[in-house]
A and B are shown apart, each in its own frame.
Chain A
Amino acid sequence: MILERQILDHALTLLIVIPLVGLVPLLFFMRDERAAKQVAIVTTFVELVVSLVVLGQFRIGEAGFQMTDSVMWLPSLGIRYEVGVDGISVLLVVLTTLLTFISVLYSSGGAIKTRVGEFMAAFLLLEVGMVGVFVALDLFLFYVFFELMLVPMYLIIGIWGGTRRIYATLKFVLFTLAGSLIMLVAIVAVYLASGDAGSRTLSFADLVNDTSRFPPDFQFWAFFAFALAFAIKLPMVPFHTWLPDAHVEAPTAGSIILAGILLKAGGYGLIRFALPLFPLGAQAWLPLILLLSVVAIIYGAAVSTVQKDLKKLVAYSSVAHMGFVTLGIFVLNVQGGVGAILQMLNHGVVTGALFLFVGIQYERTHRRLIADLGGLANKWPLYTTFFGIFVLASLGLPGLNGFVGEFLVLVGAFKFDGQPVSGLVWGPLAAIGVILAAVYLLWMFQRVMYGPVREAYKDLPDLSPVEVASALPLLVLTIALGVFPQPFIRIIEPSLERMLAFASAAAVAVK
């Protein structure tokens, strides 16, 4: 009983440690493919179970951080190891462990053929970084995990990717690194501004309690530096150019994680750190961010329409979907914020699934160009059903999850009453994106699935059991989030209101 209590108290630390523990046997079985796969599957499964326990223990309705773990880490700097979850992060943690498990499971089914041990090791290391990003409550710790995600993904794209993988992976790393190094300077500046020598801190809880220690000028630049790093990661237009390249070249599992989790780290960083810590800076940059969000929504959708490559189409649709996330966060109301977080979860589930199905299809046909495909519906009833549902969810059909997030974001956008233009401009503009989404997704589905089937594809098999097992949890979530969004909203809402309260309290105090 006491042991159980202890484990529960440190469950979040456990989430960080489990993949590291899994790495140890993996290093010994590096050359044994079967063993490597088994170790990775077991590790990510245990991780998933522990994260579900965390979700089960989560007290719904509380706004603050729960299950916190805090010890002094670097005494001479006053930097703490501090982890915890609130309504915003707890669902993202579960999404991370779920998508990682699915990716590993799917990759074990034969999608990865070379250097399997190394692939699984990279995935476990990646999982440490991803989970860490969502639970870290100290800016230093957050930065460490934020960067830790970089190297494994760099290797995953660079080793197991497509023909232009090296160009894609270098572009991905250099873009991300440039942004995050600028953020590092801002983090150090925050550290210096947090107090006098000896009492300095990077603990989020301490910093957010009194943001008046950051003068407006300071906030302007600090917000810029943080937002730049997250805007590149998210990515926002005009920093999105690495995304299509990275997605097209990444192996399927890499695409799933990239779209499903890594992009979310950007949105999460904005709402967790950039907005509450620098509310005045956020106010100053607000018009530009709203503009760029709407541009991303329309531009992303418009560019998706003309894509010839399936993966590129899904990648550009991600740019549009992430536009909804930033729009929702920066209209600064509860509907928008909750919508943004739901949109992150939904996009993680649905786009993860879309990349999974594009990958499954590619493995059979070895074609990704839409023009080379067609008529697959007749041959693959199971595939078509799954893929169809995810496509409909992605375009925002009511009853499936994509609708809920986008709808709430739009409500929030219409309600926005700030400067320089009211929500009556942002709302309708964003709504255009929803219409365009229906256009490009349905058109794509029609060209890929219907029409006459090609001779070469006649004998290709439908989904295998492993593939169904990989996709099923995502399908369940797609429907559950669409039909019963309320429980999820109840988890998110109090914590979100708290973050927004930090932001508005400081703004009011200055006025």
Chain B
Amino acid sequence: MTDLVAILPETIVTAAAVVVLAVAAIWGDARVRAWLPWLTLLGLIAALASPIAYPASGLFFGGFAVVDQFTAFFRLTFIVLAAFTAVIAPPYLRREGVPEAEFYATVLFSTVGAMTIALATDLITLFVGIELMSIPVYVLAGLQRRDRYANEAALKYFLLGAFSSAILVYGFAWLFGIAGSTDLVHVSAAVAKAGLGSPEVVVALALVTAGLGFKAAVVPFHQWTPDAYDGAPTPSTAFMSVAPKAAAFAAILRVMATALGPVQLDWALVFAVLAVVTMTGGNVVALVQTNVKRMLAYSSIAHTGYILAGVAALAAGTSAGAAVLFYLFAYGIMNLGAFASLTLLDLEGTRGATLDELNGLWSRHSSGALAFTIFLVNLTGIPPTIGFLGKFLMIQPVLDAGFGWVAVAIALNAALAAFYYLRVVVHMFMYDPEAGAPRIEGARILSVSLVVVAVITILLGVLPDPVYAFALRGAEPVVIR
């Protein structure tokens, strides 16, 4: 019974997904469908509140799952991201005729998978979580069935995702071979015994890094990202660009800090190099994009690089893990917000907005342009925003761990990225709208929620302490001892 109480939030989210599907199947008319996002939101809020009513912590299911502050932080993050997605999605889904109930249910199922990753103390739980998170996201990418690009996106994402899962599970098999157990703690002990630089550990390390690197879009495993993000329906992209990435990092933290923690010296430098390559690669390619959706896709690769720097610096202690957690939270909100802002534009038949289509957005939809600008300022890392704090907190452990050059790379990359983020602001504010472009009306809930969330990113930028203190507690279980 205590086992079931421990996974109450996951259970509630699953139930919510089933209820959403059932309600839509039974009463299929538009009036009911309008309530689906709110039903989704209700389920998510109940899931978030349930641990307060029924607290649980410790190991469950015979050591297959753990509930600790790390789990709690990621539960919060995933639920917030899913809720934000549910609120911003309706206008786009209705306009483009994307099946609504399926969208919400799929987002919820994927969220359950992501939450399962945060629970994992065992390679098997971890892998189940990763698959449960990934497969719904492939569906999300292809939900717009009649769109060629969405099909391409879904197929590419699915094939490369399956491929990376295979690599990952092969790596897990090597770890099992070393330890004779799938329990992360046992694996850790066996890895420690095998010692630094032992061939079997290095093979497992390489396979696991590649497998998880695919999921997080680390260069050079990032090739699927731009096409998948670009072709998918924009609300799907918004969710895809944040939740699976956060989930991938939850997995990376658990595996690297616990199972492979003893050989941290083997991988820290590799991760630092990957971090710099990823942030630079993402930013340089983003610079030349004229399609905003594609540009944001490359920018999300750059952000993977910043976050990876924190993983490389895990030896610095709690502050490193906390920086990764905080950044994931901040990135999740700001990047989701940026993609969601794009859904304001009605661009049937095109794949996301080009820069020119954003011309004069300020005079066509002021609150949307304002919110989008705030999200871009967040992504640039200009204070007082949560995005700036993410960078500030990230540089700290990176320097502390002795990776001064990575810290400088973060700073230079942030300056580079400013160019393309601010260019979007240029088009929204400093160019006049194309002749005949009407004011954008409607989508009231979407624009209100965008503004509210944008304001929250500033408030949390001024008063980040609640989130950061939570992140510090959440990082405790992933400190390398």
Which residues of A does B touch, CB under 8 Å?
A: 30, 74-77, 140, 143-144, 147-148, 150-151, 154-155, 158-159, 165-166, 169-170, 173-174, 177-178, 181-182, 184-185, 188-189, 191-192, 197
Assess whether A173 is in contact with B418, with CB atoms less than 8 Å apart. Answer: yes
Report 17 cross-chain contacts, Cβ distance below 8 Å, ordered by A residue: A74-B464, A140-B392, A144-B384, A148-B382, A158-B430, A169-B430, A170-B423, A173-B422, A174-B415, A177-B382, A177-B415, A177-B418, A184-B391, A184-B395, A188-B395, A188-B396, A188-B399
Q: Which of B73-81, B185-193, B406-414 contacts A (4 or more CB under 8 A)?
A: B406-414
Check B400 for interface membership: any CB of A closer than 8 A.
yes
Residues of chain B within 8 A of A184, CB atoms compared: 391-392, 395, 411
A75-B465, A174-B418, A189-B399 in contact; A166/B388 too (CB < 8 A)? no
Residues of chain B within 8 A of A188, CB atoms compared: 392, 395-396, 399, 407
Among B380, B388, B412, B418, the one with the most A-chain Cβ atoms within 10 Å of its Cβ is B418
A147-B382, A166-B426 in contact; A185/B415 too (CB < 8 A)? no
Assess whether B400 is in contact with A185, with CB atoms less than 8 Å apart. Answer: no
Q: In the docked arrangement, what's the CA distance between A147 and B411, Å?
A: 14
Residues of chain A within 8 A of B382, CB atoms compared: 147-148, 150-151, 177
Secondary structure type dominating chain A contacts = helix
Assess whether B429 is in contact with A155, with CB atoms less than 8 Å apart. Answer: yes
Residues of chain A within 8 A of B418, CB atoms compared: 173-174, 177
Q: In the docked arrangement, what's the CA distance between A178 and B418, Å?
A: 9
Q: In the docked arrangement, what's the CA distance between A30 and B370, Å?
A: 13
Secondary structure type dominating chain B contacts = helix
Residues of chain B within 8 A of A147, CB atoms compared: 382-383, 388
Beyond A30-B366, A197-B319, 11 extra complex contacts between A and B, CB < 8 Å: A75-B469, A76-B472, A144-B383, A147-B383, A151-B382, A165-B430, A181-B415, A184-B411, A185-B407, A188-B396, A188-B399
Query: What's the nearest-Cβ distance from chain B to residue A162, in Å?
Result: 12
Q: Which residue of B lies closest to A157 (CB)?
A: B430
Residues of chain B within 8 A of A76, CB atoms compared: 465, 468-469, 472
Residues of chain B within 8 A of A173, CB atoms compared: 418, 422
Of A74, A155, A181, the residue contacting B411 (CB under 8 A) is: A181
Q: Which residue of A lies closest to B395 (CB)?
A: A188
Q: In the docked arrangement, what's the CA distance between A192 and B402, Å?
A: 11
Which residues of B does A touch, CB under 8 Å?
A: 317, 319, 366, 377, 380-384, 388, 391-392, 395-396, 399-400, 404, 407-408, 410-412, 414-415, 418-419, 422-423, 425-426, 429-430, 464-465, 468-469, 472
Q: Which residue of A lies closest to B469 (CB)?
A: A76
Query: What's the nearest-Cβ distance from chain B to residue A27, in Å?
Result: 10
Query: What's the nearest-Cβ distance from chain A to residue B98, in Å?
Result: 35
Residues of chain A within 8 A of B399, CB atoms compared: 185, 188-189, 192
Q: In the docked arrangement, what's the CA distance between A37 and B425, Å?
A: 25
The 3 closest A-B pairs by CB, nearest first: A181-B411, A178-B415, A144-B383
Among B380, B383, B423, B429, the one with the most A-chain Cβ atoms within 10 Å of its Cβ is B383
Q: Which residue of B lies closest to A31 (CB)?
A: B366
Q: In the docked arrangement, what's the CA distance between A144 and B462, Å?
A: 10
Query: What's the nearest-Cβ distance from chain A to residue B178, in Å?
Result: 34
Residues of chain B within 8 A of A143, CB atoms compared: 383
Among B377, B425, B464, the one with the most A-chain Cβ atoms within 10 Å of its Cβ is B425
Query: What's the nearest-Cβ distance from chain A to residue B47, in Å?
Result: 27
Assess whether A185 is in contact with B472, with CB atoms less than 8 Å apart. Answer: no
Q: In the docked arrangement, what's the CA distance between A158 and B430, Å?
A: 6
Query: What's the nearest-Cβ distance from chain A to residue B473, in Å?
Result: 10
Q: In the docked arrangement, what's the CA distance between A177 and B391, Å?
A: 14
Residues of chain A within 8 A of B415, CB atoms compared: 174, 177-178, 181
Query: What's the nearest-Cβ distance from chain B to residue A81, in Å?
Result: 10
Residues of chain A within 8 A of B391, CB atoms compared: 184
Residues of chain B within 8 A of A30, CB atoms compared: 366
Q: In the docked arrangement, what's the CA distance between A159 and B399, Å?
A: 39
Residues of chain A within 8 A of B377, CB atoms compared: 151
Q: Which residue of B lies closest to A191 (CB)?
A: B396
Q: In the docked arrangement, what's the CA distance between A414 and B419, Å?
A: 44
Query: What's the nearest-Cβ distance from chain A to residue B318, in Å?
Result: 9
Query: What's the nearest-Cβ distance from chain B to residue A155, in Å?
Result: 6
Assess whether A148 is in contact with B430, with CB atoms less than 8 Å apart. Answer: no
Residues of chain B within 8 A of A192, CB atoms compared: 396, 399-400
Q: In the docked arrangement, what's the CA distance between A234 and B417, Å?
A: 23
Assess whether A181 is in contact with B422, with CB atoms less than 8 Å apart. Answer: no
A158-B429, A158-B430, A177-B418 in contact; A74/B408 too (CB < 8 A)? no
Of B392, B410, B419, the residue contacting A174 (CB under 8 A) is: B419
Q: Which residue of A lies closest to B431 (CB)?
A: A166
Assess whether B408 is in contact with A185, with CB atoms less than 8 Å apart. Answer: yes
Q: In the docked arrangement, what's the CA distance between A430 and B464, Å?
A: 48
Q: In the docked arrangement, what's the CA distance between A189 and B402, Å?
A: 11
Residues of chain B within 8 A of A170, CB atoms compared: 419, 422-423, 426
Query: What's the nearest-Cβ distance from chain B to residue A409, in Å?
Result: 33
Q: In the docked arrangement, what's the CA distance between A144 and B366, Å?
A: 26
Assess whether A181 is in contact with B383, with CB atoms less than 8 Å apart. Answer: no
A144-B383, A166-B426 in contact; A185/B411 too (CB < 8 A)? yes
Query: What's the nearest-Cβ distance from chain B to residue A417, in Å?
Result: 36
Assess whether B464 is in contact with A148, with CB atoms less than 8 Å apart. Answer: no
Residues of chain B within 8 A of A181, CB atoms compared: 381, 411-412, 414-415
Query: What's the nearest-Cβ distance from chain A to residue B205, in Å?
Result: 29
Query: What's the nearest-Cβ distance from chain A to residue B322, in Å?
Result: 9
